[in-house]
């Protein structure tokens, strides 16, 4: 079954992509949830026209995302956390903590666009931040022990 996505769907595609899925997934989940529409001939023509109009706007958005990516690469993010014996943390550091640290630096990025493993020890780690479907930046950060 061919569908046109109306919004980004995790592990499937981005908005306005034409994707092929199994009939049940499309009919029972994507279409009723309002995440996709059937890819009929007329719908594909409308999509092609919309994509032409969006191409110019898209270029500006990608340029802005690249500027933000350059600004993020220049940052040194250090997240403080309570530490037990050795270098093991009480709790963990996740994408939510990283989003809060970026907000303090003046970059409001939603936590769902930040991909990192759950960190349970102090040290240096990397996170992938998706600013746009074409722009992903690797952000190194460090987890350090909180001073008592």
Domain limits, the chain: 2-62, 69-145
pLDDT at 51: 86
Q: How many residues make up the chain in this entry?
A: 148
pLDDT of residue 85: 80
- CA nearest to 141, candidates 73, 71, 55: 73
- At residue 117, the pLDDT reads 86
Which residues of the chain are modeled with pLDDT < 70? 148
CATH classification for the domain delimited by 2-62, as one of 1.10.1060.10, 3.40.605.10, 3.30.1490.20, 3.40.5.10: 3.40.5.10
Please compute, for residue 53, the number of CA atoms within 13 A of its CA located in the half-sphere on the CB side.
Answer: 7
Per-residue pLDDT, 21? 95
Rounded to whole angstroms, the Cα distance separating 5 from 47 reads 10
This prediction has a pTM of 0.62
Q: Coil, helix or strand for 27?
A: helix
Cβ pair 98, 120 in contact under 8 A:
no
Strand 77-81 and strand 135-145: the pairing is parallel
Residue 125 has a pLDDT of 92
CA count, 13 A, side-chain hemisphere, 134: 9
- pLDDT tens track for 32-67: 999 999 999 999 999 998 888 888 888 888 888 899
| Cβ count near 122 (within 10 Å) | 19
Give the DSSP letter of residue 111. Answer: G
Contact 65, 132 (CB under 8 A): yes
CATH topology assigned to domain 69-145: Ribosomal Protein L9; domain 2 (3.10.430)
């Amino acid at each position: 079954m061919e569908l046109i996505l109306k919004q980004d769907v995790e592990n499937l595609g981005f908005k306005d992509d034409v994707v092929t899925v199994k009939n049940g997934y499309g009919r029972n989940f994507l279409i009723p949830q309002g995440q996709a529409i059937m890819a009929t001939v007329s719908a594909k023509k409308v999509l092609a026209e919309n994509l032409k109009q969006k191409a110019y706007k898209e270029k500006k958005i990608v340029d802005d995302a690249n500027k933000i990516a350059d600004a993020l690469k220049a940052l040194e993010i250090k997240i403080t956390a309570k530490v037990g014996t050795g270098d093991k943390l009480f709790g963990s550091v996740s994408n939510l903590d990283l989003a809060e640290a970026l907000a303090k630096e003046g970059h409001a990025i939603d936590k769902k666009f930040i991909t990192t493993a759950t960190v349970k020890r102090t040290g240096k780690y990397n996170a992938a931040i998706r600013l746009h479907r074409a722009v992903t930046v690797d952000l190194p950060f460090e987890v350090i022990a909180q001073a008592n």
